[in-house]
Structure 1
Amino acid sequence: MLAFLRKQMQELLEQRAALKTELDGILKEPTAEKRDLSDQEQTAFAEKRDAIKKTDTDMDTIQARIDELVDEEQRSAKADEIRSKYQPDSAKPAVTVTSEPETYRKGGKQSYFRDLYRAQQVGDRAAMDRLQRNDAEVAAGLEKRALTTTDGSAGEFVPPLWMVQDYVALARAGRVVADQVQHQPLPPGTDSISLPRLASGTATAEQATQNSTLQNTDATAGSVTANVATIAGMQVVPQQLIDQSPINMDEILLADLAADYAVKLDTFVISNNAAGKRGLLNVSGLNAITYTDASPTVGELYSKVGDGIQQIHTGRLLPPDKIFMHPRRWAWMSVALDTQGRPLVVPVAQMPSNALAALDEVVSEGFVGTMQGLPVYVDPNIPTGLGAGTNEDRILEVRSQDIILFEGTPKAESFRETKADQLSVLLRFYNYAALHSERYPKAISVVSGTGLIAPVF
């Protein structure tokens, strides 16, 4: 469209130049200076002049449209820049299969549950071979994600690759905060992970005089420990479903387990409150910002968010990089108006000049926009029943690289003995995780108080 309009503009410029030449030609006739223009000459002059005016009007219209399109392109480019910077590409597959398909795949003929049962309870060698081949496929597929399948014992098998992707890579809707902190593979053979940290550092000082003793301060070191937690679930299924079902139940059961695991892991990262397993909201020594107001406003909350940011700057001496809040809090902000009736949170494509935040995506979970230069993510797993009135939510501001989530790969087992009297099979799934949230408490700011009660719209 822009190319077409610019071509039209060039043609009009050439047309105007030609008309101007013809108009000048009438005025410069050899006899025109010594006499009045004839009726025919006056008519021609008026026609050329009107044609030039019309050309000028047409060029103004086209130029305005060009400016509008250029502005739209710039806004779109800005929106794409923000989206590509902050929005995770969860749709991109973690593994590209270039040869034969995976042993267990969505819509495939082989059932992971059936083989799991037959290998562990019946000793079916073919089923065992398929499960072991699947383990190798998963291990190869997870190399790019720095996850391992080494923790566990010989009696366990790793779920199919597509299901692990749902657990770890694609189940982002249920684990927004958990996916935005630093990830590390969970080391095998341990129930706790300790990381060193300096309790106090060395020091320098101006030398009093030449040849005098220099400042000598010994650093003291300590450590912070994260205990490994187990997140597990089970499902009892009838033997007939495993043996006789014409369809594989893998997709239904595994997808449901993956979705629930994502929620439980995210909740563990946000609000768990046990020694060595502190969620972000319960870290001792974090930056606590209290917003107390019976009639809260977005403008007042905006300054509290800024306070949380500056406290990370001041206490951690490095900048925060992400803000998390409940969807209801972002929705409340997005409908707020200033005294002139203008929205305070405006779609980023409009490039507002008076907004306190920019809305990029309309989603229930995940990246939604920016505020004070930081990406904002909404996560419904942030609790809303806190405070004295059990109706407050919280806003988290963090330096995400200072928070480390160690996560293993889910494992599966089958048991027939405990349910033999009812011809059922118990399927058990579990995973291990450890969270290091307390190494740098000043890298976390939490806004709380009565100003964050359930919003009124």
Structure 2
Amino acid sequence: MTLNELIARRKRDLNSKIREYNDLVEELDAARAGESPDAAVVDALRERKAALGEATRSMQEDVEKLERELDADEKVAARQAEVTDVPEAREVAARAPVTVTSEKRTYNAHEDPKGLQFALDVARQFQFNDPASSERLARHMKEERVERGDKLVSRAVGTSAFSGLTVPQYLVDEFAPAAKASRPFADACRPHALPAKGMTLSIGKVTTSTSVDNQASENANVSETDIDDSLIPVPVQTAAGSQTISRQAIERGEGIEDTTIDDLVRGYATNLDSKLLNQVTTGLSAVAAAIAYTDGTPTATELYPKLLAGPAAVEALLLDQGVGDTIAVMHSRRWYWLQSQLTSTWPLFGQPGVAAQLGGVNYAERYGAGFRGVLPSGTPVIVDNNIGTAFGAGTNEDEIYFGGQSEFHLWEDPAAPMLIRAEQPKAKSLGVDLVVYGYFAYLFTRRVHAQKVAGTGLVTPVF
């Protein structure tokens, strides 16, 4: 039995003892509650309670001692992993994935923090079939399979056997804050793992529900309606981009900008988020029902009712399928404009966590760091600058969206969000394209409910 398993067993025993103690407390309270409690029974219960309490404390101390021992073991193991050299890695037998801790990764944050060597190896291997670059890339992919093999092997090939290289995870993590700042709405969507195969997903939707009604009379047939459902097809989309690297940089190892990988990651994230919001027919702007706000001289006070009309409509459409997770998504210019407005009147109803003289709260979070604040209804706000600002006849309007967070479905590849390889050498310009791509799918209409405030009242704000 491992130390972890021993701790788990002791915790289960402790929880059982605590439940026994709580039951005894209730029994003792009941014995005392009568008009003339039996003193002998009460004393006996008190003695049992004291003994159980002592046993519980002893078991708690034992668990804490074991946890301290486990913590010490883990710290020693971590220190050992940092300083211990091992022989050249042997062929890894087929087994459950493990994490390589005793040997440095081929590409690591300490020696290649910006991904320059990785990008250079990709280009050199493609352009010149450079043996050293090929060996490093092969070793990198072998390390990826060791650490994430169960997910990675089937992900590294597209529907046309278009193989690629997994971007090292530390580079994705390195640029994650910047990249995620480009996909605030995508990060707020309900995440799902994209299946390993197929270019179309199917999600079920009940189209005819059961019925319930009062029975007309005794022995009469009760209401019955056959439930029926349908499958909604969701296409898997491919997002891709490229970065051209000069031949001089490939041959002489100079000139690859520090931002090569950064630019690719940012671009991928921004495109994904923008498609979720703006894609024709399926994006949030296309599927949301419009709540018109027409105003030649807009003010936050006049916009205020619309900020409540959106969540109200969402709740009315989701009915019992709503889980109270309605969110608002707006452009940063609209969020700051709302904060810039002053008023001498206040809502008729107060809101939890919002002072009576305020119409909302700003959390003072940076862009892309989650919810920025709450609206008067308590609806949390996502600020996203991928929202269009050229809507309307004057091409100067933005929109405010509302919807249930759990009904914004987004499927992404859990193991390799993006793959990279060199493609189509530009011979005349002495350049090689690094192509980055990935697969995703999304659906906002499983239950049609999304709303948007739109109209002339949301023209370019004046501060």
Q: What is the TM-score of this pair, normalised by structure 1?
A: 0.68
Measure the CA separation in 1 of the matches of 2:301 and 2:284.
25
* Contact 1:232 1:430 (8 Å CA) reproduced: yes
Written as runs of structure 1 = structure 2, the 5 A alignment for 1:388-407 is 388-407=393-412
Return the alpha-carbon distance in structure 2 between the equivalents of residues 374 and 225 of structure 1: 31
Q: Distance in 2 between matches of 1:388 and 1:219?
A: 45
Distance 1:139 1:353 in 2: 57
Aligned to 1:38: none
1:171 match: secondary structure: helix
One-letter amino acid matched to 2:374:
T
Rg larger for: 1
State the partner residue of 2:457: 451
| Further displaced range: 307-316 or 295-304 | 295-304
Cα separation, 2, equivalents of 1:354 and 1:100:
60
Confirm whether residue 370 of structure 1 aligns to residue 374 of structure 2. yes
Count of aligned pairs: 348
Match of 2:210 among 195, 202, 205: 202
- Counterpart residue type for residue 425 of structure 1: V
Matches within 5 A, 1:215-230: 215-230=223-238
Mapping of residues 382-393 of structure 1, within 5 Å: 382-393=387-398
Query: Does the residue aligned with 2:218 lie in a helix, a strand or coil?
Result: coil
Q: Which of 358, 361, 365 pairs up with 2:361? A: 358
- State whether structure 2 residue 179 is matched by structure 1 residue 175: no
In structure 1, what is the Cα distance between the partners aligned to 2:191 and 2:285?
A: 19
Whichever residue aligns with residue 263 of structure 2, its letter is D
Q: Take 1:154 and 1:292, find their aligned partners in 2: how far apart are those partners?
A: 50
Structure 1 residue 137: deviation in Å?
4.9
Is residue 281 from structure 1 mapped to residue 290 from structure 2 by the alignment?
no
In 2, the alpha carbon distance for the partners of 1:393 and 1:130 equals 48
How far apart in 1 are the matches of 2:146 and 2:399? 40
Once the two structures are TM-superposed, the CA of residue 142 in structure 1 deviates from its matched residue by 7.2
Q: Which moved more, 1:122-131 or 1:447-456?
A: 122-131
SS at match of 1:392: coil
Counterpart of 2:441 in structure 1 is: 434
Q: Which residue of 2 aligns with 1:15?
A: none
Displacement of 1:209: 1.3
Distance in 1, Cα, partners of 2:189 & 2:157: 22
Q: Cα–Cα, structure 1 residues 181 and 362, in superposed 2: closer, same or farther, change >3 Å?
A: closer
CA contact (8 A) 1:195 1:224 kept: yes
Change beyond 3 A, Cα 1:165–1:135: farther
Residue 312 of structure 1 deviates from its aligned partner by 1.2
SS in 2 for 1:174: coil
Q: How far, CA to CA, are the matches of 2:271 and 2:174 in structure 1? A: 14
* Corresponding residue to 1:115 among 113, 121, 127: 121
Secondary structure of the structure 2 residue equivalent to 1:393: coil
**Structure 2 counterpart of 1:162:** 170
TM-score normalised by structure 2 residue count: 0.67
Give the SS at the match of 2:311.
helix
CA contact (8 A) 2:327 2:403 kept: yes
Whole-angstrom distance in 2 between the partners of 1:273 and 1:370: 29
| Distance apart, 1:258 and its partner CA | 1.1
Alignment CA distance shift 1:115-1:146 (3 Å): closer
Separation of aligned partners in 1, 2:123 and 2:153: 26
Distance 1:146 1:338 in 2: 56
Report the residue type matching 1:359 in the other structure: N
Change (3 A) 1:406 1:139: farther
The CA deviation at 1:176 is 0.5
Closer, same or farther in 2 for the Cα pair 1:154/1:147, shift >3 Å?
closer
| SS across alignment from 2:165 | coil
1:362/1:209 CA distance change after superposition, 3 Å:
closer
Q: Report the AA paired with residue 338 of structure 2.
A: M
In structure 2, relative to structure 1, the CA distance for the partners of 1:151 and 1:224 (3 Å cut) is farther
Cα offset, 1:369, TM superposition: 1.1
1:242-261 alignment runs, 5 A limit: 242-246=250-254, 249=256, 251-261=258-268
Correspondence 1:134 to 2:140 = yes
Secondary structure (helix, strand or coil) at the match of 2:434 reads: strand
What residue is the counterpart of 1:82 in the other structure?
A: none
Change (3 A) 1:401 1:148: farther
User: Kindly tell me: are residues 231 and 334 of structure 1, through their superposed partners in 2, closer, same or farther at Cα, counting changes over 3 Å?
Assistant: same
Partner of 2:423: 415
SS in 1 for 2:361: strand
Could you tell me how far apart the structure 1 residues matched to 2:356 and 2:286 are?
37
Alpha carbons of 1:182 and 1:332: their partners in 2 closer, same or farther (altered >3 Å)? same
Gaps of 5+ in 1: 1-95, 343-347
SS at match of 1:196: strand
What is the rounded CA distance, in whole Å, between the counterparts of 2:373 and 2:136 in structure 1?
Answer: 45
Give the whole-Å Cα distance in 2 for the aligned partners of 1:445 and 1:208: 40
Alignment of 1:337-348 (within 5 A): 337-339=342-344
**1:18-42 C-alpha deviation (Å, 9 max, x unpaired):** xxxxxxxxxxxxxxxxxxxxxxxxx
Shift of 1:363: 3.3
**Which residue type is aligned with residue 372 of structure 2?**
V
**1:269/1:136 CA distance change after superposition, 3 Å:** farther
Q: CA deviation at 1:256?
A: 0.9
Residues 242 and 146 of structure 1, relative CA distance in 2, 3 Å threshold: closer
Which piece of structure 1 moves more, 233-242 or 161-170? Answer: 161-170
Q: Which amino acid aligns with 1:315?
A: L
Q: CA RMSD in A?
A: 3.2
2:406 partner SS:
helix
